[in-house]
């Protein structure tokens, strides 16, 4: 349903309310939820990927250079900071 979800007519709702396209939650930016976000210190990051593993949101993406960064879905929970093997991630307040 391309239309804004609260403008959809009853005729446009799929039979049985079935959602025919998987993974459409990606259209919802959970990044709006964070009030702080993780920043990596690349001089100490060993590119092990543990941060990527422990993120509940799959909110961390490996960059072409092998380092990892948060993506738009990060909710700012801070698990990656706590679990980082070298402790090279720290949370930074969102600028309002």
Partner 1 sequence: MIEIRFHGRGGQGAVTSVELLALAAIEEGKFAQGFPSFGPERRGAPVLAFCRVDDKPLKLRCKILKPDVVVVLDASLLPIQNPPADLREGGIIVLNTNKSAAEIRQAYGYTHTLALVDANKVAREVLGVPIVNTTMIGALLRATGLVKVETMEAPLKERFGPLAVKNFNAMKVAYEQTTIEEQRS
Partner 2 sequence: MEKFGFAESTKFDTYASRMMPREEFFTSGHRSCQGCGEALAVRWACKAIGKDAIIAHATGCMEIVSSAMPQTAWMHPWIHVAFENTSAVASGIEAALKVLERKGRLKGPMPKVVAMGGDGGTSDIGLQSLSGALERGTNFTYICWDNEAYMNTGIQRSSSTPFGAMTTTSPPGKLSFGQHTWKKDMVAIAVAHGIPYVATASPGYLFDLYFKVKKAVETPGPAYIHVLSVCPTGWRSATDLTVRLARLATETAVFPLFEVVDGRYRLTVQPPKIRPVRDYLKPQGRFRHLRDPEVEFIQKQTTDRYQLLLEKCQASCAEFVPVHVPEGI
Partner 3 sequence: MMAHKKRLGMEVSIAVSHAVQLARAEAIAAYPITPQTHIVEHLSSLVANGELDAEFVTVESEHSAMSASIGAAATGVRTYTATSSQGLALMNEILFIASAMRLPIVMTVANRALSGPLSIWNDHGDIMAARDIGWIQIFVENGQEAFDHSIMAFKIAEDHRVLMPTAVNLDGFILSHVVEAHELMDQETVDGFLPPLVPYHKLDPAKPVTMGAFAMPELYTECKMGHQVALTNSYGPILEVWREWGELTGRHYKPVETHRTEGAKVVLLIMGSLAEVAETAVDTMRDQGIPVGLVKLRLWRPFPFADLRQALAGAELVIVCDRALSLGGAAGPVQAEVRSAMYPLAKKPHILGYAVGLGGRDVQPEVFEELVQLAQAEVKKGPSEEFHIYGVRG
35 vs 14: CA distance, rounded Å:
37
Q: Is 18 in the site for partner 3 (CB under 8 A)?
A: yes
> Which positions lie near partner 1, rule CB under 8 A?
32-35, 75-77, 94, 96
Q: Is 31 exposed, middle or buried (0-12, 13-18, 19+ CB in 10 A)?
A: middle
**Whether 31 contacts 77, CB under 8 Å:** no
Q: Is 17 in the site for partner 3 (CB under 8 A)?
A: yes
Q: Which residues are 89's β-sheet partners?
A: 40
Structure tokens at 20: 């025919």
**Closer residue to partner 1 in complex, CB, 43/96:** 96
- Near partner 2 in 41-70, by CB under 8 A: 46-50, 52-59, 62
| Binding positions for partner 2, rule: CB under 8 A | 1, 5, 8, 17, 19, 21-30, 33-34, 46-50, 52-59, 62, 71, 73, 75-79, 81-83, 85
């Amino acid at each position: 349903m391309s239309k804004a979800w609260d403008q959809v007519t009853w005729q446009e709702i799929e039979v049985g309310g079935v959602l025919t396209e998987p993974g459409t939650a990606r259209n919802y930016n959970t990044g709006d939820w964070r009030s702080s976000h993780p920043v990596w210190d690349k001089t100490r990051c060993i590119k092990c990927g543990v941060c990527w593993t422990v993120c509940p949101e799959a909110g961390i993406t490996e960059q072409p250079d092998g380092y990892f960064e948060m993506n738009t879905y990060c909710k700012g929970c801070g698990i990656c900071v706590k679990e980082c093997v070298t402790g090279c991630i720290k949370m930074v307040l969102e600028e309002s």
